[in-house]
Structure 1
Amino acid sequence: MDKLRALRYFVEVSETENFSRAAENLSVPASSVSRRIVDLENELGVALFHRSTRVVKLTELGGLYLEQIKPAIAALNLADEMVGQQSDTPSGIIRITAAPDYGRFRLLPALAVMKKQYADIVCDVELTDQISDLAHNDLDIAIRATSAPPDRSVARKLTDGQFIMVAAPEYIERNGMPKKADDLANHVALLYRRPNGILHWQAHMADGWHELNLPPALICNQGDTLLDEVLAGHGLALIPKWGIIDELAEGRLVHITLEDAEIAASRSENSGIYLLYHRPKYGLKKIRVAVDFLLSELTEKP
């Protein structure tokens, strides 16, 4: 038995949960995949999958086995790809994940520029709030908002995570400019909903932190919708500074500061937006040029 091939087939089936789909991804007959898996199970003396006509699931032992061998298979695949690079032109698929709002506002425009320079690189982008471990899956680059980047990845800070309170000039003309924290009770807020609940505003005052409960005009989990609403003059909003650089510069939004409080989205003072990658993958030309380009394009200048 070609055990290395069997192990690669095993990893693919575990990820697709389907022999036919795994075979299609591997460009081999489904019968070959099935036969290799059976040979592997016979050698190990255990069943790696629960099989039915509709689904293929890992057994408990299969899951444990996958956990042990997957990093080694990923390392071998990476080594094969690095050695197999023949062209000076970076090419291939790069899997990137990013938080939805940062992805739409900043990452996707940057990737459009990168595509003009590296036409043979294909970016497979997932915009999601779900956090994945770069060291244990096929992701190449992740962009996350965090105050504690993972130790096992290279983390390069793109910008801080500062949210600022803003409103449209028209809203301020109608409702007045809040000067102190108590004034906010006379205003309405546009609130962001995260996967774990509403993002309530925090006020850092002389006596410590206080959570604010402003009357909401809208609650939404889409940052671009909240931006449209605040631009339309429908309320106050906390927006990441990196998302409204042009609007502030053009005067379409006004940054509101209070005399007695600093308004923030979080009580963490070290939060930022980080670009993360797994160090061994930087040896691949496509990853290296993508990381370097995105750092150059997205890192906020002092």
Structure 2
Amino acid sequence: MDKLNAMAIFVRVIERGSFSAVARELHTTQPTISKVLRALETELGGKLISRSTRKLSLTDEGQRYYSHCRQILAAVDAAEHSFQSGKEAVAGPLRIGSSVSFGRLHIASRLAGFLDRYPQVQVDLQLNDQNQDLVSEGLDVTLRIGELRDSGLIARQIGTTHRVTLASPAYLAKHPAPQTPQELARHNCLLFNLLSSQNQWVYEKDGTRHSVKIKGNAQSNNSEAVREMVLAGLGIALSPLWLFFDDLKAGRVVALLQDYTPQSLPIHAVSAPNRRQSARVKAFIDYMADALTQAPELQPLR
């Protein structure tokens, strides 16, 4: 038995949750995949997977073995990639994931420059405000804003989202601007509800942390919808500077609480741990890291 191949099939079955899906990927049959895993279990001397009519689940031993297999396969891929470094052309399909607003404003607008540099790459940009599953959606790389919850991913921080508290002149004409974070509790605050800390806004000033629980009568899972609410004078938002960069310059919104620094959010380029990072993935991550470093809307508010 090819142990490494069996380990790779085992990991893929767990990731896809289906013997038949992996069989289709590998252009083989479901009985063949089952035979490989039975042989692996026989050699190990125990069950890896508990099978039912509805789903697959790992045994305790299987969970430990799965974690080790992922590390081993990632190490093998890294070794091969290190050997082949410099030989692989930057070419082929590249499937990229991102949130809707960031992808539209900061990835789509930069693809022309990337593809001018690497004309043999074919990009498929998939936008979704829910965190996309790299494996099940077939993504090569995804850009995520915020702290990563899955420590098993391969991640590189390529930028920072600085946030700003703001409101429209129309809202401020009816409601005095808050002078401290605590005063936000008396205002109508608009929520982007995909952040884990959605109703707790945190600031820092002179080394002191200020946390305030906010409330409001409107929220959304899309940051551009929150932007439209702010522009319409509905309330105050704590949002990415890049989302309101042009609005601030044009005076359509006003920055508030500038003596207090909101928590910033990292921007990571993320890929699956058991997938070798191809030359085109590396080229895209390097390109975006350089572009975001130079982007004025990704710098702190002056």
So what's the TM-score if we normalise by structure 2?
0.74
Which residue is 1:170 aligned to? 170
Which residue is 1:252 aligned to? 252
Secondary structure at the residue paired with 2:281?
helix
Percent of matched pairs sharing the same residue: 23
Extract unaligned runs of 5+ from structure 1: none
Q: What's the CA shift for 1:284? A: 3.2
Q: Which amino acid aligns with 1:226?
A: V
CA contact (8 A) 2:199 2:215 kept: no
Which residue is 1:62 aligned to? 62
The separation in 2 between residues aligned to 1:86 and 1:210, in whole angstroms, is 52
Task: Kindly report the root-mean-square deviation, in angstroms, between the aligned alpha carbons of the 2 structures.
Answer: 4.3
Which residue is 2:145 aligned to? 144
Q: Which amino acid aligns with 2:74?
A: A
The separation in 1 between residues aligned to 2:190 and 2:50, in whole angstroms, is 48
Secondary structure at the residue paired with 1:53?
coil
Work out whether 1:289 is the aligned partner of 2:288: no
The separation in 2 between residues aligned to 1:205 and 1:80, in whole angstroms, is 48
Q: What's the CA shift for 1:72? A: 1.7
Q: What's the CA shift for 1:171? A: 2.7
Task: Rate the CA distance shift 1:119–1:245 in 2: closer, same or farther, 3 A.
Answer: farther
Which residue is 1:273 aligned to? 266
CA contact (8 A) 2:229 2:235 kept: yes
The separation in 1 between residues aligned to 2:274 and 2:51, in whole angstroms, is 35
For each residue in 1:49-108, what CA deviation from the matched residue of structure 2 results, as whole angstroms up to 9, or x when unmatched? Answer: 222333332222222111112222233345557749976342234555x56654454345
The structure whose Rg is larger is: 1
Task: Rate the CA distance shift 1:123–1:79 in 2: closer, same or farther, 3 A.
Answer: farther
Q: What's the CA shift for 1:44? A: 1.8
For each residue in 1:140-174, what CA deviation from the matched residue of structure 2 results, as whole angstroms up to 9, or x when unmatched? Answer: 45433349xx8x96744423x432222223333x3
The separation in 1 between residues aligned to 2:145 and 2:207, in whole angstroms, is 31
CA contact (8 A) 1:100 1:129 kept: no
Structure 1 range deviating more: 38-47 or 279-288: 279-288
Extract unaligned runs of 5+ from structure 2: none
Structure 1 range deviating more: 229-238 or 76-85: 76-85
Q: What's the CA shift for 1:290? A: 0.4
The separation in 2 between residues aligned to 1:19 and 1:206, in whole angstroms, is 56
Q: What's the CA shift for 1:125? A: 4.6
Structure 1 range deviating more: 70-79 or 243-252: 70-79
Which residue is 2:159 aligned to? 158
Which residue is 1:242 aligned to? 242
Which residue is 1:48 aligned to? 48
Task: Rate the CA distance shift 1:66–1:168 in 2: closer, same or farther, 3 A.
Answer: same
Which residue is 1:91 aligned to? 92
CA contact (8 A) 1:94 1:287 kept: no
So what's the TM-score if we normalise by structure 1?
0.74
Taking the TM superposition and a 5 Å limit, the aligned residue runs for 1:61-210 are: 61-77=61-77, 83=84, 88-94=89-95, 96=97, 98=98, 102-111=102-111, 114=114, 118=119, 120-123=121-124, 125=126, 127=128, 140=141, 142-146=143-147, 155-159=156-160, 161-172=161-172, 174-175=173-174, 178=177, 180-181=179-180, 187-202=187-202, 208-210=208-210
CA contact (8 A) 1:110 1:298 kept: no
For each residue in 1:163-188, what CA deviation from the matched residue of structure 2 results, as whole angstroms up to 9, or x when unmatched? Answer: 2222223333x326526338757643
Task: Rate the CA distance shift 1:296–1:12 in 2: closer, same or farther, 3 A.
Answer: same
The separation in 1 between residues aligned to 2:244 and 2:290, in whole angstroms, is 19
Taking the TM superposition and a 5 Å limit, the aligned residue runs for 1:216-235 are: 216-235=216-235
Q: Which amino acid aligns with 1:189?
A: C
Q: Which amino acid aligns with 1:180?
A: Q
